[in-house]
Chains A and B, each alone.
Chain A
Amino acid sequence: MRDRTLKYLLLVPAAVLVLGTTLWPLAVSFTTSFRDWRLTRSVTPGPFIGFEHYITAATDDPEFLNALTVTATFVLIDVTLTLVCALGLALLLRRAGVLQSLTRAVLILPFAVSPALVGISFRFMFNAEMGVFTWLAGAVFPPLQGVVWLGDRSAALLVLVFSDAWRWVPYMTLVVLGGLAALPREPEEAARMDGAREWQVLRDVTLPALLPVLAIVGILKTVFALKMFDQVVTLTGGGPGSSTVTLAYLVYSIAFRWYDMGYASAVAWILTAMLMGLAVWYTRLVLRKPDA
């Protein structure tokens, strides 16, 4: 068989999988988002109602507004924290040393832990009575004694960020370390010969060269933060009140607590649209390198 035909045939199995498992459901939930369909009333799709769900979300749903605010706050803190910590830690780990290689060796561990388990473990460790972190925070920093971490609106969000950062910072550090390792040594050495101090080398040579990697880390973390779900379920359950209800968790609640498939699909698609915007940006970054 000629390569001309074969090259497309080779794509077929994977294309079927991607089409069937991603594009089909995307299309279905897109159309569903224009329907009035509550499972409590009907098991078959209800009538089309145009943009009504989207209008409701935009103008008349405090729950949606709340989830939007929570998600935005979460993303902002989470992404900033991850970027700063991963970069700092990678720079620390860049040099050789026993402690450095030990740390590098354990960086992968948190990422191998199921996010759901991370959430439930942090729930345990921030438990008001027997949480080891609750005790530790109070011991290291006395004003924090007696804080009911998961009972306070802002504190609960911070614990959520902490649990997510615990899983992601070490991983992203590995990514930044990979980026650092790929940088040629000569420009930094030349800068040192030219008389630059270490912080000047970092600011003027290393960071500019590392920018593409940091952009990738930033975008990827934003994506995963926007989709935040597992730990919300197992760590805070969205509470206290609805102070930690993210958009993904809101979709889940609308769909599987209130069984409103139409509205759930609409909110899900608002989230998807945001993520697709990021996807376009990300793809440009990644595909910019010439294809060999």
Chain B
Amino acid sequence: MRAVRTALLLAVLFLILFPIAWMALTAFKRPVDLLGLSLFFTPTLDNFRTIFSHPWNIGRTLWNSTVVAALTVLIAIPAATLAAYSFSRFEMRFKTGLFFLILATQFVPAVVVVLPFYLLFRDLGLLDTHWALVIVNLAIVTPFAVWMLKGFLDAVPAESEEAALVDGATRLRVIIDIVVPMVWPGVVVTTVFCFVLTWNEFLFALILTRDDAVTLPVGITRFRTERGDLWELIAAAGILISIPMFFLSSIIQRHFVTGMTGGAVK
């Protein structure tokens, strides 16, 4: 039994890590080394130099991804925090209905959201801009953030807030002085989760950007040229996209689960 388990786990580890490792290796290969599937080759940094220089200019794409993801969470998280607090602390009419609405929005296919926005942005001349991407990404991120933050707020006991109310604070003061500091780790986790979600978003960027505002996931598809697929460059760019996300998701690993399942599983 023990041997079977060990073998299975080793196979799982291999399946998870091998594709990542292979892309990492490829990123340091010269094109001639690609065909041989060799593990032994002379590593080179040329691919990284190439993607940062003309005509690829991946630096620009990197910047676009950063700006779009940062603006999206900057708008979504404060709004979501207030809403989540209201949901968590107060009874209200239609609460279940509002919940359903928030929960159901993550079931809406992105492709149905993007059609009207494509037409609107085309008319407004906003196609291929950061703001266009930020606005549609808010559609994905806001409900997630509300749902996640509500979970974190539910876990914070109300007593400290009530103490502050009795001590003489107004409700808004309580939110700023007491609630936000207490739920801060949850805010950070939610922000990171939403940042990762936006960073990896593909469909919106594919449809709404062309040159100026292209983000990394779409950017890597540009290495598939008429001259063929430049795999070593794709791999180099892929490593560039993934490293920060590996880092971010590892620090909040436990909470990643809470995010997607809306707190149903903790």
Contacts and interface: CB of A to CB of B under 8 A. Distances in A.
The reply, when asked whether chain A contacts chain B directly with Cβ atoms under 8 A, is yes
Contacts of B85: 10
A96 interface: no
A212 B261 CA distance: 12
Contacts of A170: 16
B99 A283 contact: yes
Contacts of A226: 109
Contact of B238 (A6, A121, A135): A121
Interface string B150-190: 00001000000000000000111000000000000000000
Contacts of A120: 220-221, 224, 234, 238
Contacts of B108: 22, 26, 272, 275
B115 A248 contact: no
Contact of A122 (B19, B114, B139, B248): B19
A213 B258 CA distance: 12
B202 A230 contact: yes
B242 interface: yes
A117 interface: yes
A191 interface: no
Is the contact region of chain A dominated by helix, strand, or loop, or is it mixed?
A: helix
A230 B249 contact: no
B111 A248 contact: yes
B34 to A, nearest CB: 5
Nearest to A182: B266
Main secondary structure of the interface of B (DSSP, over half): helix
Given A125-B22, A220-B260, A21 B113 contact: yes
A92 B115 contact: no
A107 interface: yes
Contacts of B206: 233
Contacts of A114: 199-200, 202, 216-217, 241-242, 245
B131 interface: no
A200 interface: no
Contact of A10 (B8, B82, B115, B117): B82
The range of chain B's interface size is 35 or more
A201 to B, nearest CB: 15
Contact of B112 (A26, A92, A174, A223): A26
A178 interface: yes
Interface stretch (A46-54, A57-65, A73-81, A251-259): A251-259
A286 interface: yes
Nearest to A117: B238
Contacts of A113: 20, 200, 241-242, 245
A281 B70 CA distance: 34
Contact of B253 (A108, A121, A272): A108
A84 interface: no
Interface stretch (B42-50, B54-62, B71-79): B71-79
Interface string B227-242: 0010100110010011
Given A108-B249, A117-B238, A174-B257, A11 B82 contact: yes
A216 B13 contact: no
A173 to B, nearest CB: 9
The 5 closest A-B pairs by CB, nearest first: A14-B83, A21-B139, A13-B79, A114-B200, A28-B116
